[in-house]
A and B are shown apart, each in its own frame.
Chain A
Amino acid sequence: LAKTTQPISMDSYEGQEVNITCSHNNIATNDYITWYQQFPSQGPRFIIQGYKTKVTNEVASLFIPADRKSSTLSLPRVSLSDTAVYYCLVVFSSGSARQLTFGSGTQLTVLP
């Protein structure tokens, strides 16, 4: 059964590191794992993408274990403006069909 699981919500204080994990069994072996940020009334915005191990860009890091059954988005030193909903996006494949599947989203609230 294609399913992703994310925590519904998380609270953090400014300046702290935040880690959000998405569990995703049996995802397609050849597709990337991608994370998005969404503010109210806007479309999701790309944060980071990876295939395995660790990827880092100027805003986040992404950790993917060897079995690719989960991925962890790491936001260093969050600020109030990082308050948003964060989604993982993975691909489940069945035969030739590919299902692009978003996680249910994690509401991150950054407190002063």
Chain B
Amino acid sequence: KAGVTQTPRYLIKTRGQQVTLSCSPISGHRSVSWYQQTPGQGLQFLFEYFSETQRNKGNFPGRFSGRQFSNSRSEMNVSTLELGDSALYLCASNFEGGNGYTFGSGTRLTVV
């Protein structure tokens, strides 16, 4: 059974650009959530999608957005990148009522 797949694994962008990250959940999982991990702030919740609808949202500016498709795959977009957006972005999927979230290996974003 394939795990959660995130692409790309690594990304370097310039300040002011935008970026789109992709997440393919485990087959059958309809919930997808996104997290930002930095050394200073730890793991912070960005948003959660279920059946193509954003169900919950963390405390991030509007530059951070996401969406979920009918096949449960999800994308996260960050516009007008700032140096402080450099982080590991993690995606996790969950089968409602199941045990916890399964995480992907993340996308390491570096903004220069």
Number of interface residues of B (CB under 8 A): 22
Judged by DSSP, the binding face of B is strand
B56 within 8 A of A: yes
| Stretch of A18-26, A40-48, A65-73, A76-84 at the chain-chain interface | A40-48
Taken residue by residue from 93 to 111, chain B's Cβ proximity to chain A (1 for < 8 Å, 0 otherwise) reads as 0000001111111100000
Question: Known contacts A98-B56, A100-B56; is A43 also within 8 Å of B104 by CB?
Answer: yes
Interface centre among B42, B90, B105 (most CB of A within 10 A): B42
Q: Which residue of B lies closest to A6 (CB)?
A: B42
A12: chain B residues at CB < 8 Å are: none
Report if B43 contacts A (CB, 8 A).
Answer: yes
A74 interface contact, C-beta 8 A:
no
Name which residue of chain A comes closest to B100, CB basis: A46
* Pick from B4, B43, B45, B100: contact of A99, CB under 8 Å: B45
Cβ-defined contact, B43 with A44, below 8 A: yes
* A46→B93 CA distance, assembly (Å): 12
Using CB atoms and an 8 Å cutoff, list the residues of chain A in contact with chain B. 32, 34, 36, 41-46, 49, 87, 89, 97-105
